Copies of this chain bind each other. A is one copy, B any other.
């Protein structure tokens, strides 16, 4: 049964790729209002596709934002486990567009990589599951386990409607384990299972100084420039050792114990490669932690954007009324994103000079998660990955945020297997996003093996 499904998948490579390209060509950027219709188009495309490969109840569920696509196949019988597969069909904006070597929405293969927005994050990885299910279904007429799919369209904007949907449909989404492929491997031959994810809180700060833009020659020197205030405030949020200075910020951070430090240190993470991929002369982070710990097991604060005053070409001698920044913190267990946003706002209000006023917009938040590294599902997944990629997976934490993992834990009471098939140089959220094509095909095979083993 496994072999038939794998053989089917091998024989259909070209068609699978063509179908993925079709999905990738829909610019379903969730954060841009002008792409709303595209999101709906992508959702409908997926629902149609799920029905076409033999799944039941394929449906586009409207939300107040982008729709959520669901489907299932529950004919394996009540004695078989139910696997819940999550993915997302929305993608990041493509700016700066001029740095792309090819059209982000006209996917093309170059040197074994598929280039385009969403190739790795997450359309390409999500599509692995569709193709594994199709291969099993077409070659054997059935699936070895019960399956439920939930594919959202707002992951890149923090999934504002996903939690509500899961709570509302909690009975229908009942499952034994969840699987998500939205993370990455360490090398093409080194699979990786992520057991920790960071949470996040993302704020926009608006500072107001004078009530209108002023002439810097007439007023400069006697007014607290809000850009200056913003710079001073943001600069003060970290000390020289890279520690975040917000009182209480670290209070609930679960320390990294010695056992875990060893697991992380054993991961074949290369600082040199990381530096090369980032294109920086040297690294800089929180003192007392390795780079891998800094980017996965420690909370961070990054300024994601800043703007104010005159930013066009040339020189305007303005002393602006407003200055803005977008900042986000990656959080680790057991930091609560609401509590951290509260701390952050309170601290920023406190350090603001009396000459400026502060306003906040909370743009999104999600909880982090830590998953049991030793569950039976985890062991089965590890075996499937080893069979396909030739090496047993490394267990690691990921620096990114997949808030639904925490939701699955708290609402459905299930753990999630984070089986990532991306690579760390996939240029997620950047120009020239890509997906290493052998991982697409190997991922399909690994999922065929995993589902078959779980259904035994």
Which of A15-23, A245-253, A314-322 is the contact stretch? A314-322
List residues of A (202-233) whose CB comes within 8 Å of B's CBs. 202, 204, 209-225, 227-228, 230-232
Specify how many copies of this chain sit in the oligomer: 2
Closest B residue to A325 by CB, please name it.
B227
Q: Decide: B31 and A314 in contact? CB cutoff 8 A.
A: yes
**Interface residue from B224, B228, B310, B364 paired with A235 (Cβ < 8 Å):** B228
Which of A37-45, A167-175, A301-309 is the contact stretch? A301-309
- Contacts A215-B430, A305-B308 given: A221-B315 contact, CB under 8 Å? no
Q: Chain B residues with Cβ under 8 A from A156's Cβ?
A: 316
Q: Decide: A306 and B305 in contact? CB cutoff 8 A.
A: no
Please report the C-alpha to C-alpha distance between residue A166 and residue B406 in the assembled complex, in whole angstroms: 71
The yes or no answer to A198 lying at the interface (CB within 8 A) is: yes
Which of A279-287, A369-377, A379-387 is the contact stretch? A279-287
Q: Chain B residues with Cβ under 8 A from A314's Cβ?
A: 31-32, 157, 363
List residues of A (259-295) whose CB comes within 8 Å of B's CBs. 274, 278-286, 291, 294-295
Closest B residue to A324 by CB, please name it.
B311
The yes or no answer to A124 lying at the interface (CB within 8 A) is: no
The yes or no answer to A116 lying at the interface (CB within 8 A) is: no
Q: Decide: A231 and B294 in contact? CB cutoff 8 A.
A: no
Q: Decide: A315 and B326 in contact? CB cutoff 8 A.
A: yes
Q: Decide: B99 and A212 in contact? CB cutoff 8 A.
A: yes
Q: Chain B residues with Cβ under 8 A from A210's Cβ?
A: 278-280
**Interface residue from B221, B282, B428 paired with A399 (Cβ < 8 Å):** B221
List residues of A (145-186) whose CB comes within 8 Å of B's CBs. 156-158
The yes or no answer to A141 lying at the interface (CB within 8 A) is: no
Closest B residue to A291 by CB, please name it.
B222
Q: Decide: B221 and A286 in contact? CB cutoff 8 A.
A: yes
Please report the C-alpha to C-alpha distance between residue A218 and residue B316 in the assembled complex, in whole angstroms: 37
8 closest Cβ pairs, A-B complex: A211-B279, A217-B400, A305-B309, A221-B300, A31-B314, A315-B363, A305-B310, A231-B231
